[in-house]
Structure 1
Amino acid sequence: MRARRVRAHRRHRAARGGAGAERFLRRHAGSAVCLVDASWTIVAWTPAWRSMCRNASGADPAGRNVARQVFTGTGSRIRRAAEEEAEFRRLLVDDLRRAVLRHPRDEALADLVTGLRTGSEAFDALWSVASAPGPAGGRVVLDFGTGPITIGSDVVGLRDGLCAIVFSAAPGSADADRLAELIGSHASR
């Protein structure tokens, strides 16, 4: 029993990231940034990201899984242009495929992939063929019912085995002003 708790604790610590991940979040505290683990579950975030996503951070881990959101259309207010959405989907599948190879005994990861394969024809089709995704990131549109905000989304690999998704708007743009207003108006709640 004790060994099981220690393994669970180590896995949780690895999923949350180490000192490097924490440092990255502290240095980008004013920016909308979230960290995802190998299964693309959001495990940590900045206050600005939480404000931007209107406290989506409170969802259970299944609700914070980016791949599940993208392939089932649940829980996300982020939209991409068709070409960028297709590229992002290929990136997700490729990353999950590599994660399964790196972590063959991770039952939660295997369950996620199985669930996506049975629950999403698009995921299953991409899983069935090898592909080489292009660069990670692109433009996304946030839609919170107050009008769309177009921002950049960059995926950055961190040393701790996590990826950071950094959202930003072009400096001085109307979208930057609207994003700052959105983050500021929800940060005080």
Structure 2
Amino acid sequence: MASSRSAFAELLRAWRDRLSPADAGFTVTGGRRAPGLRREELAQLAGLSSSRGTNATGCTAAPVSCRPRTERSHVPAGIQRPAARLGGVPTGVFTADWTLVWWNAMWSALHGDPAAVPPAGRNLARALFGDGAARAMMRPVRPERGQDAFEASIVADLKDAVSRCPGDAGLDRLVRELRDASDAFARHRAARTAATRHTTDRKTVRHPEVGDILLDCDILVVPDVDLRMVAYTAATGSSDAGRLDLLRVTGGRTAAAPS
């Protein structure tokens, strides 16, 4: 429990360091000792007190039981509020089976508009292992940990969801679909060694207009509501940050990549 909370605290600190005040909608003033967000600004984004004892967005480190299927796609205000304030940062919210249920304009600019595919196609596991609309739309992404490790982590997350939701028809159907469609999925699912679940990674996204963008991909797991909030950020002052700036201006439409 303590180690999980420590990891969660480290993730919040990483987000504070990587996100500039201007990107989060705050007025930049003098006297800052570091380029990232202050602790009270991060708390304000989430609509919380900045007390060190605050449990941000209602998160706990305890295991979560299976939520009723009808509730899994609901994104509560406590998650939408901080996600919406990260307007300059590509941000998406996923359910336990890696179905995208909320995203902002920057997410669409970086990855393509999820509204262009049916809801069932907005699933990361289908994008990786399926052969339908989700896979066709997915822009090339190169994880720093390697594609095989990335795929294994998504399968590990699905196995965890299935273990918490025995008899869930939708999850069972998804697993059967991917097992039949992909040898890689079947191999990862049958692996005897436990894979690491999908957490923070660095990824290079190949964007058709601005070129390759190296980004930190941070994942905030919210166990109480069985959701994951995913955000992509770039190192301040880097050429990758410049490419994200172009996406903010153009919405991902035709633009020249910075040199």
State the TM-score, normalized to the length of structure 2: 0.63
* Deviation string, structure 1 residues 7-45 (Cα, Å, up to 9, x no partner): xxx744432322322123123222111011011010101
1:74 aligns with 2:74: no
Unmatched tracts of structure 2, length 5 or more: 1-67, 254-259
Q: Is the 8 A contact 1:87 1:134 kept in 2?
A: no
1:89 is matched with which residue? 151
1:182 is matched with which residue? 247
How far off its partner does 1:134 sit? Answer: 6.1
Q: Distance in 1 between matches of 2:178 and 2:151?
A: 12
Which residue type is aligned with residue 75 of structure 2? G
Q: Distance in 1 between matches of 2:183 and 2:116?
A: 28
1:44 aligns with 2:102: yes
Q: Distance in 2 between matches of 1:13 and 1:19?
A: 14
Q: Distance in 1 between matches of 2:245 and 2:115?
A: 19
* Deviation string, structure 1 residues 59-101 (Cα, Å, up to 9, x no partner): 2122211011112453211411474322221211111011112
Partner secondary structure for residue 80 of structure 1: strand
Q: Distance in 1 between matches of 2:200 and 2:184?
A: 20
C-alpha change, 1:160 and 1:28, in structure 2 (3 Å) is: farther
Structure 1 range deviating more: 74-83 or 175-184: 74-83
Q: Distance in 2 between matches of 1:137 and 1:84?
A: 13
Q: Distance in 2 between matches of 1:23 and 1:12?
A: 22
Higher helix share: 1
Partner secondary structure for residue 74 of structure 1: helix
Q: Distance in 2 between matches of 1:49 and 1:20?
A: 19
Partner secondary structure for residue 251 of structure 2: helix
Percent identical:
30
Q: Distance in 2 between matches of 1:142 and 1:184?
A: 18
1:54 aligns with 2:112: yes
Unmatched tracts of structure 1, length 5 or more: 1-9
* Deviation string, structure 1 residues 109-144 (Cα, Å, up to 9, x no partner): 111111111111111011012413166122212223
Which residue type is aligned with residue 172 of structure 1? G
2:165 is matched with which residue? 103
Give 1:165-176 correspondences, 5 Å limit: 165-176=230-241
Which residue type is aligned with residue 248 of structure 2? I
Q: Is the 8 A contact 1:32 1:52 kept in 2?
A: yes
1:5 is matched with which residue? none
Task: Give the total of aligned pairs.
Answer: 180
Moved over 4 A (4+): none
Q: Is the 8 A contact 1:137 1:154 kept in 2?
A: yes
State the TM-score, normalized to the length of structure 1: 0.84
Q: Is the 8 A contact 1:33 1:46 kept in 2?
A: yes
Of 200, 204, 207, the residue aligned with 1:141 is: 204
Of 17, 30, 35, the residue aligned with 2:88 is: 30
Partner secondary structure for residue 170 of structure 1: coil
* Deviation string, structure 1 residues 40-64 (Cα, Å, up to 9, x no partner): 0101012221222231333212221
RMSD: 2.3
1:163 aligns with 2:228: yes
For CA contacts below 8 A with separation 6 or more, give which structure has more relative contact order. Answer: 1
Larger radius of gyration: 2
